[in-house]
């Protein structure tokens, strides 16, 4: 069985605390026509470099029924700056247009098969996976972005079209797993697309 969700798989449930002081579950987003769940964090250069673009994409598609959920599953043993307290502080400074949730036990990260930060999962109205992978081709430097795969996928999805490129490799830092070296990757995790 693949580590990461496969196209057509249903969105796994989650019950996680958010920076807003509330618990959030998958069912809470039932009113959204489409759902983007992505694994992110506070410190990764790829996240910091692409957050403005992710924010712009989330704001662009909000009125078209697309909800965004960001999940930070990184262990703080690898990076103390990924703590829930720091998540709250960062969101206070510049509130995200998505629910920002903490997956301390890494249950959601395992259920989705998160590989890197950021790693995006886009679900249709039946909550079946229609796109997974990177947000953009160069998340480290916004000035060098040539392809915005997330925006492209959502543009086709809301237009009722099939996603032309449903699978890309996420680009960024490894998810920081509890009890492992920060560069560790699960044995059954691999590139989603073979180059």
Radius of gyration of the chain (CA): 15
- pLDDT reported for residue 78: 85
Task: Scan for tokens 């509890």, then name that residue.
Answer: 178
Of residues 185 and 157, more confidence is placed in 157
- pLDDT reported for residue 194: 62
Residue among 128, 88, 115 at smallest CA distance from 6: 128
User: What are the sequence ranges of the domains in the chain?
Assistant: 15-174
pLDDT greater than 80 at residue 178: yes
* 94-116 pLDDT per residue, tens: 999 999 999 999 999 999 999 99
The span from the CA of 87 to the CA of 147, in Å, is 28
CA trace torsion 11, 35, 99, 80 (10° rounding): 50
- pLDDT reported for residue 186: 78
Confidence of residue 29 (pLDDT cuts 50, 70, 90): very high
Helix (H) / strand (E) element for 61: namely helix 45-62
CATH, domain range 15-174: 3.40.30.10
* 36-69 pLDDT per residue, tens: 999 999 999 999 999 999 999 999 999 999 999 9
The span from the CA of 55 to the CA of 151, in Å, is 11
Q: Is the pTM of this model over 0.85?
A: yes
Of residues 195 and 93, more confidence is placed in 93
- pLDDT reported for residue 79: 84
CA distances from 116 to 101, 136, 174 (A): 16, 13, 4
pLDDT greater than 90 at residue 182: no
* 145-172 pLDDT per residue, tens: 999 999 999 999 999 999 999 999 999 9
- pLDDT reported for residue 187: 76
């Amino acid at each position: 069985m693949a580590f990461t969700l496969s196209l057509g798989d249903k969105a796994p449930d989650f019950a996680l605390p958010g920076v807003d002081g509330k618990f959030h579950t998958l069912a809470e987003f039932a009113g959204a026509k489409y759902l983007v769940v992505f694994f992110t964090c506070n410190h990764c250069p790829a996240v910091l470099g692409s957050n403005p673009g992710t924010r712009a994409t989330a704001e662009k598609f909000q009125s078209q029924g697309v909800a965004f959920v960001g999940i930070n599953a990184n262990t703080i043993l690898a990076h103390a700056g990924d703590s829930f307290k720091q998540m709250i502080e960062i969101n206070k400074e510049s509130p995200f247009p998505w629910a920002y949730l903490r997956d301390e036990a890494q249950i959601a990260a395992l259920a989705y098969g998160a590989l890197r930060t950021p790693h995006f999962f886009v679900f249709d109205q039946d909550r079946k996976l229609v796109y997974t992978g990177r947000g953009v081709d160069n998340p480290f430097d916004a000035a060098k972005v040539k392809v915005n795969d997330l925006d492209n996928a959502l543009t086709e999805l809301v237009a009722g079209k099939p996603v032309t490129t449903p699978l890309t490799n996420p680009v960024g830092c490894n998810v920081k797993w509890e009890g492992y070296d920060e560069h560790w990757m699960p044995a059954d995790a691999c590139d989603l697309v073979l180059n």
